[in-house]
Amino acid sequence: MALVNEHYLKLPNNYLFADIAKKVNAFKVSHPKANVISLGIGDVTQPLCPAVIDAMHKAVEEMSVKSSFKGYGPEQGYMFLREAIVKNDFLPRGIHLDANEIFVNDGAKSDTGNIGELVRWDNSVGVTDPIYPVYIDSNAMCGRAGTLTDGKWSNVTYMPCLSENSFVPKIPDHRVDIIYLCYPNNPTGTVISKEELKKWVNYAIKNDTLIFYDAAYEAYIQDPEIPHSIYEIKGARKVAIEFHSYSKTAGFTGVRCGYTVIPKELTAATLDGRRIPLNPLWDRRQCTKFNGTSYISQRAAEAIYTEEGKAQVKSTIDYYMTNAKIMHHTLTKLGLQVYGGENAPYLWVKTPDGTGSWRFFEQMLYDAQVVCTPGVGFGPSGEGYIRLTAFGSRENCEEAMERITKWLK
């Protein structure tokens, strides 16, 4: 008989955002006239920029002509996009990559969830807490996370990010095989300085640790002193894999495109001590399990690197960051403790009077008809916080702030 992967049975019943959707739908059924505004899930609302639309139209036209039709593309991504990535995302920051170190994907979520296939199931894992749920859940699915007890996994080292430590996680005092870092951080919206990031790279070099670095929100960084890539730090190429996404950068949540960087000098060890480069292993994995990102999506991604595309994408990012400023100002004025929202499209808000995250979520939904994300859904250290996103329309952002102001007053 076929036996189930029992590690799946250890997972919480629902993915965080499925739980939220279930509760919101229940509210809508019982309050059919309510106009609910969502500041919860981090989905974009502004349309694709004109440069991207033009590129997609052109790509579709190419698909209609036999001489320019494209079937299966390279599993690693078309070279025109990989070279544009190297030229625009890395060279201006003094980072020299080979195009063959770039792997185009259908969004960072897929690769951050699948990257663990490159390493043994019994490696130890370290995560900042709170954290994007995919990192933990994907490790739980293969048994690497261990068992779940009182909200924590037995084989995971949790590094709390709290207001008390200015949301700067403390480096472990013991060796951890794999570390997940996400900056600008989802969910807290906080960032990491070059000085602090250098400490993590040095730790990884000293302890032979592999860093999975999620830079999905780097385009939202406003402070010129904040690093956009871990490869800005000397030595990082030997210890880090980096993930990028066009979902929030250019509104590609429905288009699906991103990329992963795996430097050629990055290695992991076998039990007998041999060092194995991970770049060719990931290439082998992708050729086996991935048929490549669509040609149309890749032409769309290439268009954001044109002069017109860069200006248009920046305009959309500025739009969302203005939302973040409005939200940060309003909530701070109400006396709430608000973090993030300055170099990222997320705001991390401490609930008043010690109210639990899910309790505050329900109060905001029922009393203000505004949806947030309960912080505890991102990990134990998220209890007592909620996450808000700046990805809504300006009209909904302002309306939501008016409702919250009226409710809390």
DSSP labels, 216-236? TTGGG---TTS-S-GGGSTTG
For residue 265, report the phi and psi dihedrals to the nearest 5 degrees.
Answer: -85, 0
In the chain, which residues fall in CATH 3.40.640.10? 53-307
User: In 280-328, where do the E strands start and end?
Assistant: none
Specify whether the CB–CB gap between 90 and 229 falls below 8 A.
yes
- pTM score: 0.97
What is the DSSP-derived secondary structure letter of residue 13? S
Q: Given pLDDT bands bounded at 50, 70 and 90, which one contains residue 13?
A: confident
pLDDT in tens, 68-105: 999 999 999 999 999 999 999 999 999 999 999 999 99
Distance separating alpha carbons of residues 152 and 149, to the nearest angstrom: 5
Q: What whole-number percentage of the chain has pLDDT above 90?
A: 97
Specify whether the CB–CB gap between 148 and 179 falls below 8 A.
no
3-class secondary structure per residue, 34-96: CCCEECCCCCCCCCCCHHHHHHHHHHHHHHCCCCCCCCCCCCCCCHHHHHHHHHHHHHHHCCC
Average pLDDT over residues 251-270: 98
Average pLDDT over residues 353-358: 96
Residue type, 284: R
Q: What is the per-residue pLDDT for 17?
A: 86
Q: Which residues contact 330 (CB under 8 A, 6 or more apart)?
A: 401, 404, 405
- Is 323 a residue whose pLDDT tops 80? yes
Cβ atoms within 10 Å of 260's Cβ, excluding its own: 25
Tokens in use for 96?
């020299």
Specify whether the CB–CB gap between 285 and 41 falls below 8 A.
no
Q: What is the per-residue pLDDT for 256?
A: 98
- Is 285 a residue whose pLDDT tops 90? yes
Cα atoms in the Cβ-side hemisphere of radius 13 Å centred on 396 = 19
pLDDT in tens, 108-162: 999 999 999 999 999 999 999 999 999 999 999 999 999 999 889 999 999 999 9
Q: What is the per-residue pLDDT for 281?
A: 98
Average pLDDT over residues 29-39: 95
Q: In the predicted model, what is the mean pLDDT of the chain?
A: 97
pLDDT in tens, 289-312: 999 999 999 999 999 999 999 999
Distance separating alpha carbons of residues 20 and 373, to the nearest angstrom: 7
- Is 14 a residue whose pLDDT tops 80? no
Q: What whole-number percentage of the chain has pLDDT above 70?
A: 100
pLDDT in tens, 221-256: 999 999 999 999 999 999 999 999 999 999 999 999
- Is 65 a residue whose pLDDT tops 90? yes
What kind of fold does domain 6-47+308-408 have according to CATH?
A: Aspartate Aminotransferase, domain 1 (3.90.1150)
Average pLDDT over residues 382-401: 97
Q: Given pLDDT bands bounded at 50, 70 and 90, which one contains residue 60?
A: very high
Q: What is the per-residue pLDDT for 38?
A: 96
Average pLDDT over residues 47-76: 98
Specify whether the CB–CB gap between 287 and 46 falls below 8 A.
no
For residue 38, report the phi and psi dihedrals to the nearest 5 degrees.
Answer: -100, 120
In the chain, which residues fall in CATH 3.90.1150.10? 6-47+308-408
Distance separating alpha carbons of residues 251 and 272, to the nearest angstrom: 46
Question: Looking at domain 53-307, which CATH architecture does it have?
Answer: 3-Layer(aba) Sandwich (3.40)
